[in-house]
Amino acid sequence: MEFRILGPLEVLDDGVPVPLGTLKERVVLAVLLLHANEVVSRERLIDDLWGASPPPTARKAVSVYVSKLRKTLARNGEDPIAPAAGGYRITVEPDRLDAARAQRFVTDAGERTAAGDLDAAAQLFRDALALWRGSTLAGLTLESQGRDEVARLDELRLTALMDRIDCDLAQGRHERVVGELQVLVGEHPLRERLRAQQMLALYRADRQAEALDAYAEARRTLVDDLGIDPSEALQRIQQAILRHDPALATPEGTAGANGLPPSAAVPPPTPAIAVRLGERHSGRRFRPRRWQLAVAGLVVLTASAAAATMLSTSSARATPHVVPNSLVRLDPRSGKPTLVVPVGVEPGPIAFTPTAIWTVNHGDRTVSRYDLRTRQVQTRGGFPHQPYDVVADMAGNVWVSSKTRIVTRLAAGVGGTSAGPLYPSKTATISVRGPGVGHEALGAGYVWAIVGPLTYPAPGLPHRKDDRLSLIDMQSDRVASSMRLRRSTTTIAFGYGSAWIGAYDAGGSWLAIISAGSTKPGWIRLVRGESCGPPYDPGPYGAPLVATGAGGVWVLTCGQSNQQQLIKVDPETHRIVKRTYVSNLDPASFLAVGAGSVWLAGGSVSEVDPVTDKVVRTIPLGGRAKTPCGIAATRDAVWVAIGNAYCDTIGQ
C-alpha cells in the first residue's frame, strides 16, 4: 500500500485508489502520516481536527474515525494503524510514503553536491520535486501544529527547487532557468534568493539591463511591503553587475546569489539543502574555468546616489497591454496584468504542469504550450478531432479531450526545450463511450471525463443526452468504468476525495458528488425549476460551474430573476452553507479557486473573499474585440484566457 501526502491525500493499493471516507477521517490519516512510524497522541489529533474549540465528544469521535480508518486500510489481516501509549501509530515503510522518499532524495542530492557531482545532484532534486502533485495535503485544513508541518514540507519543496536551479546555474544552463525564475519570483516575490538567482541568470545570458531591472523591482517590493532594503547579498550582486565583475562567472558569483559572503564559494552542505556549485559556464563573456582558478571574492563598490536614482527610474515597467487571443497572468495582490502571452484563437481551458501552461484554442482547433523556462509558445493542431478541454498532472502528463469521444494523452516531459516537438511520437488515443467528451478533472489516479455541455440543437432536432461520466486510468490509458448520471452534465472538479459535477434537468440545477471508488452519485439540488429562462433552458447561463478549494466546493449558477449566484458547499457535510448573488458578469462565465480567493470571469474578472463570500474587487479585462474565455488559479497566480470578442463554450 502506498501513501501520498505531497498533494491531495491519496492511498493506493496496487495502484488502485482506496476510498478514505469522511473529511475528518482523512484529517486523522493525514496527521498520522505526517508522523509516520511515530506515536501521535489522541490530544494532538483533537487539536488538528477542531483547534481550540473541540466538542465534548471529541475523544470518542477520534476513536470512531480511527476505527473506520483501520477497517479501510486493513489488508490480509494486517492493520497499519495500532493503538500506542495514549495515541496511535501508523507503520509505513519509507519507500511507501512520498514525503519520506522526497526527503531522502534531497538529502542524497546534498551529498552529491558536496562531492562535486552536480549532474547526479540535479537529477536527485528533480526526482524529489516530481513527487509533489500540488500543495502538501491540498484540500485538507489542519487546525493546530499540522499547519506548521505542512508548511515545512512545502518549504522543503521550494528549497529543493532553488537548489536544483543552483545546479543548473553552475553547469551553465542559465538560459534554461530564466523563464522558470520569472514565474517563481512572481509567486514568491519576497524570496531574495530567487531574486538573486534571477539576476545572475539574466546577467550570464547577456541580459544585464533586465538583471538590473530585476534588482530594482526587488527593491520596490521589499520597501513597499516590508519597509526594508534588499539584503547585503542582493546589493553585492547588483554592484557586481554594474561593474561587470568577472567573478559573477565563477562559483563565488553563484555563492552570492545564495546570500553567502564572497569567501563562501564552496560552503559545507546541510543535510537537506545543498549550496555548493559547479564549474561550467557558457556564453560570450564567461569561459569555463576550474574551481581552483576561481577569482577570489566580490569587491563591493559603492554606487552613487545619482546612479541609483537613474536605475530605479529607468527600470519602472509599464503594465503590459492585454490583447485578444492571449494568456494573461494577473498579480493576485494588485489585480494588474504582469504578463501577456499570445496563444491560439479563442483560447479557453487552462492547465498547468511544473514547466508549462497549456491552453485549448477553440477558434482554430489547436492547443498551445507556453514554456515557463524559455518563455516561448508552441501552437499546433493535428488532433484526431477538435480539442475541447485540457488537464495536466505534476509529472507533465497532459490529456486533451474532444467532443467526439476521444481523449488524447501526451507523454510526460513534452516540449522540454523550445526546439523540441509539441506532440511527441509517444501519445495515446483513448476512445470513450457516449456522444462525446467535454470537461475533465484529475483525481484518485483517474481522468474523470464528462460529456457536457453539448451545444443546444436547432429547433426540431433531437436533444442528445449528455449525462455520461467516464473514468480513465492514468496508468493504463484505458476506460476503467463508465456511468450514467441521468442529468445533463456541465462542468467537473475533483477535490476533498470526490468528484463534483454540475448538472441540470427540467427540475433545476444540481451538484453530483461521487467519492473515489464509488459507483453511485449523491445529489444536491442547487436551484429549483428552470429559473434562468430562455434561451438558456436552463444552461448555459444556469448550467452549474464547479471548482474546489479554499475550504469548500464552489458552484456558479443562476437563481431567481436570472441572477447569478455563487454557492458554497461544505465538502464534508454536503450541505449548502452560503449563497451569494453576484452581478455585472456576462452569461458565459468561468470559475476558479486559488491565490486565496474565488475568481469569476465574464466581461471582467471578479475576486470573491472565501471567508466573507463578498466580491472584493472587479478587474476590467474585457472590452472591444477581447473577452475572458477561461480562468485558472494557482496558490500565487491567476491566469486568464482572453478570446476574440466571444467564447464558444461555457465553464472552461
Q: What is the pTM of this model?
A: 0.57
**Between 531 and 10, the higher pLDDT residue:** 10
pLDDT of residue 560: 57
pLDDT of residue 343: 92
> How many beta carbons lie within 10 A of that of residue 50, not counting itself?
17
**Between 453 and 458, the higher pLDDT residue:** 453
Contact (CB, 8 A) for 493 and 499: yes
pLDDT of residue 583: 59
CATH code of the domain in which 20 resides: 1.10.10.10
Average pLDDT, integer, range 374-384:
81
CATH code of the domain in which 185 resides: 1.25.40
Do residues 310 and 220 share a domain? yes
Do residues 274 and 336 share a domain? no
109 domain-assigned: no
Average pLDDT, integer, range 45-64:
88
Mean pLDDT over each residue of the chain, to the nearest integer: 79
Average pLDDT, integer, range 78-85:
88
Is the pLDDT at 484 greater than 80? The verdict is yes
Do residues 240 and 341 share a domain? no
Q: Which of 145-149, 360-364, 379-383 has the lowest mean pLDDT?
A: 379-383
**Between 503 and 274, the higher pLDDT residue:** 503
Contact (CB, 8 A) for 275 and 290: no
Average pLDDT, integer, range 583-592:
65
548 domain-assigned: yes
54 domain-assigned: yes
pLDDT of residue 530: 52
Among 430, 433, 510, CA closest to 470: 433
pLDDT of residue 525: 92
Do residues 464 and 603 share a domain? yes
Do residues 309 and 360 share a domain? no
118 domain-assigned: no
Helix (H) or strand (E) holding 214: helix 208-226
Contact (CB, 8 A) for 199 and 238: yes
pLDDT of residue 648: 57
**Between 59 and 437, the higher pLDDT residue:** 59
- In the listed set 283, 314, 345, which residue is the last one of a domain according to the structure? 314
Q: Which of 135-149, 306-320, 421-435, 482-496 has the lowest mean pLDDT?
A: 306-320
- In the listed set 287, 314, 341, which residue is the last one of a domain according to the structure? 314
In the chain, the N- to C-terminal Cα span, in Å, equals: 35
3-state secondary structure of 310: helix
43 domain-assigned: yes
Contact (CB, 8 A) for 523 and 555: no
Give the pLDDT confidence of 95-111 residue by residue, as tens digits: 999 999 999 999 999 88
Do residues 88 and 19 share a domain? yes
Do residues 44 and 193 share a domain? no
> Residues 285-318, buried b or exposed e (16+ Cβ, 10 A)?
ebeebeeeebbeebeeeeeeeeeeeebeeebeee
pLDDT of residue 131: 93
Do residues 339 and 452 share a domain? yes
Give the pLDDT confidence of 244-275 residue by residue, as tens digits: 887 787 654 554 444 444 333 333 333 332 22
Residue type, 66: V
Average pLDDT, integer, range 457-468:
56
User: Cα 315 from chain centroid?
Assistant: 30
- Residues 127 and 133: their CA atoms lie apart, in Å, by 12
Distances (CA, A) of 226 to 198, 223, 229, 596: 21, 6, 9, 20
Q: Which of 114-118, 242-246, 463-467, 518-522 has the lowest mean pLDDT?
A: 463-467
pLDDT band at 423 (very low <50, low <70, confident <90, very high): low
Strands laid side by side in the 387-392 sheet: 387-392, 398-402, 406-410, 427-431
53 domain-assigned: yes
Three-state SS string across 424-483, please?
Answer: CCCEEEEECCCCCCCCEEEECCEEEEECCCCCCCCCCCCCCCCCEEEEEECCCCCEEEEE
C-alpha cell at 499: 468528484
Average pLDDT, integer, range 49-62:
87
Q: Across 462-466, 486-490, 503-507, 634-638, which has the greatest mean pLDDT?
A: 486-490
Average pLDDT, integer, range 492-514:
89
Is the pLDDT at 205 greater than 50? The verdict is yes
Give one DSSP letter per residue of 232-262, joined into a string. HHHHHHHHHHHTT-GGGGSHHHHHHHTT--T
Is the pLDDT at 360 greater than 60? The verdict is yes
Q: Which of 91-105, 139-153, 416-430, 574-588 has the lowest mean pLDDT?
A: 416-430
Do residues 416 and 551 share a domain? yes
Is the pLDDT at 285 greater than 70? The verdict is no
pLDDT of residue 250: 62
pLDDT band at 318 (very low <50, low <70, confident <90, very high): low
For the chain, the domain total comes to 3
pLDDT of residue 562: 61
Percent of the chain with pLDDT over 90: 29
Do residues 37 and 82 share a domain? yes
Among 72, 57, 40, CA closest to 497: 72
Residue type, 521: P
Give the pLDDT confidence of 210-237 residue by residue, as tens digits: 999 999 999 888 887 777 888 888 888 8
Do residues 74 and 164 share a domain? no
Is the pLDDT at 650 greater than 70? The verdict is no
**Between 417 and 423, the higher pLDDT residue:** 423
pLDDT of residue 272: 32
471 domain-assigned: yes
Average pLDDT, integer, range 304-330:
60
Average pLDDT, integer, range 169-184:
88
Host domain of residue 298: 154-314
Do residues 461 and 604 share a domain? yes
Percent of the chain with pLDDT over 70: 79
Is the pLDDT at 426 greater than 70? The verdict is no
Average pLDDT, integer, range 68-72:
92
102 domain-assigned: no
Contact (CB, 8 A) for 81 and 66: yes
DSSP one-letter code for 292: G
**Between 305 and 368, the higher pLDDT residue:** 368
pLDDT of residue 306: 32
pLDDT of residue 381: 80
pLDDT band at 454 (very low <50, low <70, confident <90, very high): low
- In the listed set 280, 314, 348, which residue is the last one of a domain according to the structure? 314
Is the pLDDT at 416 greater than 50? The verdict is no
163's CB contacts (< 8 A; 6+ apart) are: 106, 109, 110, 113, 121, 125, 273, 274, 275
